[in-house]
Amino acid sequence: MSDKDIMIEAIDVNKEYRRAGAIIRALADVNLRIKSGEFAIVQGPTGCGKSTLLNVLSGLDLPDSGRIIFDGENIARATEDRLSRLRRQKIGFVFQDFNLVNTLTAIENVEAVLWPTVLRQKEIENRAISALRDVNLLDRKDHYPVQMSGGEQQRCAIARAVIHRPRVILADEPSGNLDPASEKEVMDLLKKINKDLETTVIVVTHRDLSKYGTKTIHMDNGRITKIQ
Amino acid sequence: MWRKAILLSLREKKVFTIFTLIYTILIFLTSLFWQLAFSRDLEGAGYFLAIFFGTSLFLSLLYAWILVSRKRRVWATFKCIGYTNKNILALVSGMILFTTFIGFIVVIEILFHYTAALSYLHSENFLLDLNEILIGLIPVIITSALFIIVQLLAFIVAYRKVLKVRPIIALKKVGE
């Protein structure tokens, strides 16, 4: 495997937290390579460190030691502005609680990603319409989040995650608040994006969603216990 | 980003209405006391002016604090999707400035209607002892300009608070 194929690499990553006076080792000597175009499922029980792993892989949190190589760049010591730009250009986020802005309509929520860019409003709108069409939500474009079901909100969040054509989508328990039918819908959608756009997808979950992934990373006590 | 700040302001109906109303009253009263200070019609007008500007400063700080603190999760989400601190500050500053600007427009509108109503009544020789111009344009413009300068302090407060919003908050589960 050449270095060019590697999208994200974690090298000897450690992360500790202090909680109620106790030190919790959230990540212990984690080494991981995610190739470009892979669909990786990170699974493990609650508190095993999988969300912390997602946070450090995306630059939302910094490791205590070790390196995170994101698309050839070590982001473990990057400035906050550099990380913001990296996220705007290369990362799409999908959250468990959807995190849509309640005062914005579906299309405005999707467009919001591109507001700080130099793109014209018409181009932004066209891209948002295209993204909403891809997630089969165009008929709901003028609805507010409260007017949509959980599954629809998550599909809107996925449209928001792909509008800027990122290289990686990071999803934190994307089906955690959804019923089984909506879960299947959301995971199928992520799978389709992974296949059609060759976007690297990393899903963190406590459920067994390994059937959707090309790689499953099992975690326990801050360590990677098995990679399938 | 300014246009988006206006959009966000208008969607925050309750907060926007309350603060626009307060700014309208403050701009009106401050302009009135400027007018009185200029014409020396009221002794101690300067004290009232100081009070109104102090109140304006307090309100601007409060508004900035409310906009950043109440919507921390929204700003954290925006940071996750690639907004820099400056992008978020542009939105917050735009929301504050737009509210003040609308307050200014409402005051001008009230003064127009006041003058129009009195002119109409004067045509029938009613209320002749009242001046058709309640507050001149200059005091209103001076007041609005000074209010905007006062808000620069609010922007500094907002920026410091925006810096403290960590994007990781967006990933926390609701209620956690």
Residue of A97, A108, A160 lying closest to B174 (CB–CB):
A97
- pLDDT at position A112, please? 94
Residue owning tokens 């410091």:
B160
Q: Please report, as a single letter, which amino acid is at residue A47.
A: G
B41-75: b (≥16 Cβ within 10 Å) or e? eeeebeebbeebbeebeebbbebbeebbeebbbbb
Closest residue of B to A171, CA-based?
B171
User: What is the rounded distance in angstroms from the CA atom of residue A38 to the CA atom of residue A76?
Assistant: 22
B156 touches chain A (CB under 8 A): no
For A181-198, how does the pLDDT look when each residue is reduced to its tens digit (9 = 90+)?
A: 888 888 999 999 999 889
Residue of A95, A103, A113 lying closest to B8 (CB–CB):
A103
The band of B121, judged by pLDDT with boundaries at 50, 70 and 90, is confident
Q: With beta carbons less than 8 A apart as the criterion, state whether B60 and B151 touch.
A: yes
User: What is the rounded distance in angstroms from the CA atom of residue A217 to the CA atom of residue A225?
Assistant: 8
In A36-163, DSSP assigns E strands to 39-43, 65-70, 73-74, 91-94
CB contact under 8 A, A81 and B85: yes
According to CATH, the topology of domain A3-99+165-227 is Rossmann fold (3.40.50)
Following CA atoms B48, B52, B57, B59 in sequence, which dihedral angle do they give, to the nearest 10 degrees?
140
Q: Please report, as a single letter, which amino acid is at residue A183.
A: E
Statement: residue A2 has pLDDT above 60? no
Residue owning tokens 């473990």:
A76
User: What is the rounded distance in angstroms from the CA atom of residue A221 to the CA atom of residue A25?
Assistant: 8
A116 touches chain B (CB under 8 A): yes
Is residue A78 helix, strand or coil? coil
The band of A79, judged by pLDDT with boundaries at 50, 70 and 90, is confident
Helices B13-39 and B45-69 pack at an angle, to 10 degrees, of 160
- pLDDT at position A77, please? 82
Mean pLDDT of A164-177: 90
Mean pLDDT of B115-126: 83
User: What is the rounded distance in angstroms from the CA atom of residue A119 to the CA atom of residue A121?
Assistant: 7
Averaged pLDDT score across all residues of chain B? 84
- The bridge status of strand A215-220 relative to strand A223-227 is antiparallel
- pLDDT at position B163, please? 83
Q: With beta carbons less than 8 A apart as the criterion, state whether A157 and A96 touch.
A: no
A93 touches chain B (CB under 8 A): yes
For A33-62, how does the pLDDT look when each residue is reduced to its tens digit (9 = 90+)?
A: 999 999 999 999 888 888 889 989 988 888
Kindly list the residues from chain B whose CB atom is less than 8 angstroms away from the CB atom of residue A103.
8, 11-12
Averaged pLDDT score across all residues of chain A? 90
Cα angle for residues B75, A207, B172 (degrees, 5° grid): 20
Interface of B with A in 40-69 (CB under 8 A): none
Is residue A210 helix, strand or coil? helix
Chains A and B form CB pairs within 8 A to the count of 72
Percentage with pLDDT > 90 across chain A? 55
Closest residue of A to B75, CA-based?
A101
User: What is the rounded distance in angstroms from the CA atom of residue B11 to the CA atom of residue B67?
Assistant: 13
- pLDDT at position B169, please? 75
Q: With beta carbons less than 8 A apart as the criterion, state whether A227 and A218 touch.
A: yes
* Mutation target among A19, A103, A109 for the B interface, most CBs of B within 10 A: A103
Minimum distance, in Å, between the CA of residue A1 and any CA atom of chain B: 30
Closest residue of B to A161, CA-based?
B81
Q: Which two tokens stand for residue A82?
A: 């550099």
CB contact under 8 A, A99 and B77: yes
Q: Give B15: exposed, middle or buried? Use CB within 10 Å, 0-12, 13-18, 19+.
A: middle
Q: Characterise A41 by phi-psi region: left (phi > 0), alpha (psi -120 to 50), beta (else).
A: beta
For B165-175, how does the pLDDT look when each residue is reduced to its tens digit (9 = 90+)?
A: 888 777 665 44
Q: Which two tokens stand for residue B173?
A: 């589960």
Residue A219 pairs in a beta bridge with: A224
CB contact under 8 A, A55 and B173: no
- pLDDT at position A37, please? 92
CB contact under 8 A, B1 and A84: no
Q: Please report, as a single letter, which amino acid is at residue A103.
A: T
The pTM of the full predicted model, rounded to 2 decimals, is: 0.86
Domain ranges of chain A: 3-99+165-227
Minimum distance, in Å, between the CA of residue B64 and any CA atom of chain A: 18
Interface of B with A in 85-114 (CB under 8 A): 85, 87
